[in-house]
């Protein structure tokens, strides 16, 4: 697992999110949906350590290109 700096989509606090090795965060959202709708391949649930709200991290493998 690796850690990435993100901004909580609820309280806008800078926190760390852990993602599987070889992946990068594309988007974080309070809404859950199909990863493809967010331009991602995978999704995982996370929780803010400041406000304790749940949100979703959408990720891709680092070597994959996003196609619009």
Q: What is the pLDDT of residue 67?
A: 53
Q: What is the pLDDT of residue 65?
A: 53
Full-model pTM? 0.84
What is the DSSP secondary structure assignment for residue 13, as one 8-state letter?
Answer: -
CA distances from 36 to 10, 33, 48, 65 (A): 22, 8, 24, 13
* Structural contact between residues 53 and 34, judged by C-beta atoms closer than 8 angstroms: no
Q: What is the pLDDT of residue 16?
A: 94
Q: For strands 23-29 and 54-61, give the pairing.
A: antiparallel
CA distances from 24 to 15, 16, 40, 51 (A): 15, 13, 10, 23
pLDDT tens digits for range 11-68: 999 999 989 999 999 999 999 999 999 999 999 999 999 999 999 999 999 876 555 4
């Amino acid at each position: 697992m690796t850690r990435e700096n993100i901004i909580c989509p609820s309280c806008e606090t800078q926190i760390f999110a852990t993602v599987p090795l070889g992946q990068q965060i594309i988007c974080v959202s309070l809404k859950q949906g199909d990863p493809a709708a967010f331009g991602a391949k995978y999704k995982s649930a996370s929780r803010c350590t400041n406000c304790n709200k749940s949100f979703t991290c959408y990720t891709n493998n680092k070597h994959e290109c996003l196609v619009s």
